[in-house]
Amino acid sequence: MQCGWCCEDWTNREESGGFMFDSYAVCPECAVKKMDSIRSYGEESHIKERCPPDLSYADWVRRMRWSSGNDKVIITTNE
C-alpha cells in the first residue's frame, strides 16, 4: 500500500497511523509531517477517517478498499 502523498510503499510495514485526506490515503509519516500545514490552512475537514490504532496502515487501506469494492491496487508513475 502506497501513501497517496509521498508514494512510499507501506505494504509490509506494521506501523499504525495515517488518515484519509479527501480521497488520498496518507501514511503515518506524512500525517505527522503535514498536520501543522493542514491546520494552518483550516483543512481539517478534509480528513475523512483516521487509521484505528489496532490496525497497520496497510491493513487499514486494504480494509477500506475491500469494503468499498475497490480492492485493486493500481500504481501509476510518470516515467
pTM of this structure:
0.80
Instruction: Identify the helix (H) or strand (E) that includes residue 21.
Output: strand 19-21
Tens digits of residue pLDDT in 30-73: 999 999 999 999 999 999 999 999 999 999 998 887 765 655 66
How many other CB atoms sit within 10 Å of the CB of residue 2? 16
Over pLDDT 70: what percentage of the chain? 85
Q: Does the CA dihedral 37-43-47-52 come out positive or negative?
A: positive
Q: How far is CA 41 from CA 7, 30, 35, 38, 53, in A?
A: 23, 16, 10, 5, 26
Into how many domains does the chain fold?
1
Residue 74 has pLDDT above 70, yes or no: no
User: By residue range, what is the domain housing residue 38?
Assistant: 1-79
Task: Grade residue 75 by pLDDT with cuts at 50, 70 and 90.
Answer: low
